[in-house]
Structure 1
Amino acid sequence: MKRILIGAGLCLASTPALAQEHEAMEGFRAEALVGYDRIDLSIDEEADADGNTDDIYYGGAIGYDIVTNGFLLGVEGEIGTSGHDAEEPYFDVIDGQEVNGTISLSDGLNWYVGGRIGTVAFDRTLFYAKAGYASTTLDLDLEGTVDGEPGSADIDINFGGIRLGAGVEQSFGRAYGKLEYRYTSYSDGHVDYDGTSVDIGDELDGIDLERHQIVAGVGFRF
């Protein structure tokens, strides 16, 4: 009987401590992110083309979490960009006109909105999975001449798709650190040029555009 009473007392005594730990993992949060970013592109078998590029991703995120019965539920939003870019010389004859210049392509604004669910284990350690919608913009710049006359064009190519991920987060009071992997598959898109937007979703049927990221983050809860 004494052992049962002692055990019950220890459980009751630990309840406030657990509540305080969970409270430290709840509320609004803001974080900075940096990590590895890989873009994979493959085109259908007829074109038989594929490639990939690796660079650094950086950005920031905000979110809100609650903890109930040992599980964390949260929503979050993120913006960022990366160092992906490329530049190539270009020459062609289009409708009898000589086009000569350079084409540059760079990663523009990336944004994401979604949710996450996780379980709290050990000492303020969270293991979680996440899912949501992600969008990326590629900035295409054309600079050169057309029959000797200078010309330029700025085109935004926007892709959107589903993002899935998983990670681990460790709280240190109101501060925290995290490490996560996320996979994004882009399945829709549109091109913006000179005030006009053109949907290119059908053209993406034979194209697989994917993104793999491993990012670390540090943040603070308010």
Structure 2
Amino acid sequence: MKVKAAQVVFVNGLGLEGWMDRFFKASGSTAPMIVASTGVKPIEGAEDGHDTHTGHGGEHAEHRLDSHAWQNVANVKLYVANIRDALIQADPGGKQTYDGNAARYLSTLDSLDAEVRTAIAKIPVDRRRIITTHDALGYFAAAYGIQVIAPQGVSTEAEASAQDVARIIRQIRAEKIPAVFIENISDDRLMQRIAKETGARIGDKIYSDALSEPDGPAGTYVDMIRNNVRAFSAALMG
């Protein structure tokens, strides 16, 4: 088993891999398990029902920790540092390589964060409101000042109730929320219905929990963030 042979095992943490502890124990591995999100300030998301996130806090239903910390580029810098340090601990001879690779990627992330902030700043404040399939963009919302409303909770297994959907439709109409976005991992029927009933624009596909194929629009983390920001800008600037 590959896990048993590994020198170090990485997990996201924040409740994403609820099965991992049992799997790791069953594998017989003695490798250290490194939580890549160590140091991230966690936020809460709704387990069931809709959730609203803004840059100034939000309204929540039943809560659990939101595991999608990578949606804030600054958090990914913590991931990189944690991964670098763990690799050096496991392989001291590779320290120079790990330090160099991490430094270059951290510089890329600094540029990416600035790029996101510049793009969002161009969107009128009263149009920085979107609807997404499930509650995966809470960290993005808090970091970059976008209001995100999701019919489903932080888990893609959470189902939106008819009451939640009706409330969101009323909110879109009342607040004239301009766009809804369909995620690559989600069934699009709910968002199609919401868009049809409200007249909100359906934006380009966004990526939250998974990347695209390597040659697709979100084949890397950096490409994923850029794709999403382009989608938001195109829909909200119109």
Shared fold, TM over 0.5: no
Larger Cα Rg: Structure 1 or Structure 2?
A: 1
More strand as a share of residues:
1
TM-score bracket for this pair, using the shorter chain length: under 0.3
More helix as a share of residues:
2
